[in-house]
Amino acid sequence: MRMQLVGFPLRTYRRIRDQLDAWAESLRPDVDFRPAPSLRETPPFLNESVINLAKANVQDGYVHLVVAVSRDWKRLRDLFTLDCRVILLRAPTQIEDITWEELRQSLEMYIDYEKRWWEAVCPKDVRHALLLPPPSFKPERHLRGFWHVCDVYRDVALIERAQQMLKDVAGCHRRKAAAGQCWIDIGGRRFKNDPSHHGLTIEERAGGRRFRFCMEVPVGFHYDVDRDAGDEFWIYDLSGNRHRTRHANVDPWGMVRI
């Protein structure tokens, strides 16, 4: 698990840097930590330099983000929604006055929870339901928004709820198909993994890495979408546009090609 601490005021970062570095070196082998401090001395808004640094770290696989106190921290949450894990740092004191012990306790609580989440919820391969695109795949009414039910923080009971929700999604929508398994939504649309991976996004053409719920999505991965009878259907894309077609390629974000 790779995590980054984003937007820490530079003055505070300098004060606790030695302890933070020593702590990071002592972490268990399956946890990698990287600071992404602000370039400002005092608590900043998340300006473009901090956001760009966080983006660069994500490209290196640091997809678990802890954000130092900032009025606009939700900018990062919205930027990486359903792709990375983004949480606001909780501390008993102002960020300028935080002690190393307070910070250490907060970070270790976060690591413990994220490990639980990773083991129980994070996709491990492309057959996972969380790679299905929310704008395009329509689940049963009681399963609507299951993606957001799985994007949970702090409360262990919410992880258990997410696990049950994923079991329910598989029970309702996972089906056998001629070439293996597929997902079928309430509109009768079949979402089949295309092994050819020929659908490259703009980011992938530029050499970028893409993540969904912290899992790196294979380059070019997408679903072939059709209906069993071969008839036409409507499907929504990432921008909310509706397309009528007999066949579509759709990636996990809802980018539709027909």
Q: 40-82 pLDDT, tens per residue?
A: 877 667 888 889 999 999 999 999 999 987 778 888 999 999 9
Burial of 140 (0-12, 13-18, 19+ CB in 10 A): middle
Enclosing domain of residue 248:
129-257
Domain identity same for 146 and 104: no
- Asked if 191 and 107 sit in the same domain, the reply is no
Note whether 230 and 246 are within 8 A (CB).
Answer: yes
Q: Which has more pLDDT, 110 or 68?
A: 110
Distance (Å, rounded) from C-alpha 162 to C-alpha 203? Answer: 30
107 in the same domain as 147: no
Q: Note whether 209 and 107 are same-domain residues.
A: no
- pLDDT score recorded for residue 143: 97
- Say what the pLDDT of residue 40 is: 80
**What CATH number corresponds to the domain at position 69?**
3.40.50
Same domain membership, residue 30 and residue 111: yes
Q: Tokens standing for 211?
A: 């993540």
Number of domain units in the chain: 2
Q: What is the pLDDT of residue 93?
A: 76
Of the candidates 66, 88, 120, which is a domain's last residue? 120
Are 153 and 106 part of one and the same domain? no
In a 3-state reduction of DSSP, which class is residue 153? coil
**Residues 88 and 135 grouped into a single domain:** no
For residue 92, pLDDT over 90 is answered with no
**88 and 14: one domain?**
yes
pTM, two decimals, is 0.91
